Amino acid sequence: MRSLRKTRVVRGGFLAAALLALAAVAPPALAAPGQDRTVTPLSGGHLDDLSLNGTAQVVADRDGRNRFLRLTSGSFRQAGSAWSTRQIDLTRSFTTTFVVNMHRHGKPGADGIAFVVQGTGPRALGGWGGGLGYRGIRQSVAIEFDTYRNGQNDPAGEHLAVTRAGNPDRHLATVPAPIPLYGRPFQVRLSYDAATTHLTVHVRARSKGATERVAFDRPLDLAKESGVTSAWIGFTGSTGDITSSQDVYGWTIDVPSA
C-alpha cells in the first residue's frame, strides 16, 4: 500500500437551483437516525461530505453549473480515492447508482476505477497502475471497472471483477464488460441484498436507446468478505504508464444508517 497523501474533506450543500431541480426526483438527503435515507454525494449542484485522497478532486464542468468527481486527471502513475464520510451498515441492503466516464482524447487509456466498501477509514488509498487505487486496503471488497490487462490474472480487454482484501490480482469473480467501459460514459446500478447476501450489478451505455445489461448476479457476503459490518464506501482509480482521466458523477446511495 502506498503512503497516504493528505486527505481533504469537501463539504457542501444544496445550492438553491439544485434544490429545486432535485426536489421532484429525489427524497430528502437524510432521514432521522436509524431510518433509511438517500444520500446524493455527487448529483447536479449538490456535493455531500467526501474525503478525497491522492489525486482525487472535485471539479466543475465548463459552464460551472455542475461538479463531479475526478479520480485521475490523465497524468502518469496517479492514484485517487474518494469516500463518503458517512459509514453504512453492511448487514443491511443498499442500492447505489453512478455514471463513469473514462477518457483520453480518443487514445487507449488505463487503468480503471473501482467501487469499494472498506473498513480501513476515510484516508484509505492504495497503489497506482494495476492496483486501481485500492491495492493494499485489506478490509475491503472492490467491484472493478477495469480498462487494461495487467498480467495473466486479468482477462483480456475490458472487464469487471470482484476482489477482496485489497488484492486486485485475485478475483472472486470476473466477466468481460458487456458494454464499452472506455471512451464513452456509462451508468452503473449496483444492488446488494443483505438478507440473501447477493450482489447484482447492472450497466448501461448512455447513448440513446441503450438498454441496461446485467454484468454480475452472484452470491456475495460483503460483511464476511470485507471483515467489517460498518464500512466507508466510495471510489478508487489509478493510472500507470498509460493514462486517462477518470470521472464519476450522478452518484446516489439508498442506504440504511450505520
Measured over the CA atoms of residue 33, residue 11, residue 165 and residue 151, the dihedral's sign is: positive
pLDDT, position 257: 53
Question: Are the beta carbons of 171 and 96 closer than 8 angstroms?
Answer: no
pLDDT, position 41: 58
For residue 226, the surrounding DSSP H or E stretch is: helix 222-226
pLDDT in tens, 222-237: 999 999 999 999 999 9
Q: Which three cell numbers stand for residue 14?
A: 444544496
CATH, domain 39-256, list 3.40.50.150, 3.40.50.720, 2.40.30.10, 2.60.120.200? 2.60.120.200
pLDDT in tens, 165-182: 999 999 999 999 999 999
What are the sequence ranges of the domains in the chain? 39-256
Q: Write out the E strands in the chain.
A: 8-10, 36-43, 46-47, 50-54, 57-60, 67-73, 79-84, 88-89, 94-103, 112-118, 140-146, 159-164, 171-176, 186-193, 198-205, 213-219, 230-238, 245-256
Q: Which three cell numbers stand for residue 128?
A: 497506482
Radius of gyration of the chain, Cα coordinates, nearest whole angstrom: 17
pLDDT in tens, 11-52: 433 222 222 222 222 322 323 333 444 555 554 434 457 899
**Sequential pLDDT tens for the chain (258 residues):** 333 344 565 543 322 222 222 222 232 232 333 344 455 555 443 445 789 999 999 998 877 777 899 999 999 999 999 999 889 999 999 999 999 999 987 677 899 999 999 999 999 999 999 999 999 999 999 999 999 988 777 887 899 999 999 999 999 999 999 999 999 999 999 999 999 999 999 999 998 899 999 999 999 999 999 999 999 999 999 999 999 999 999 898 887 555
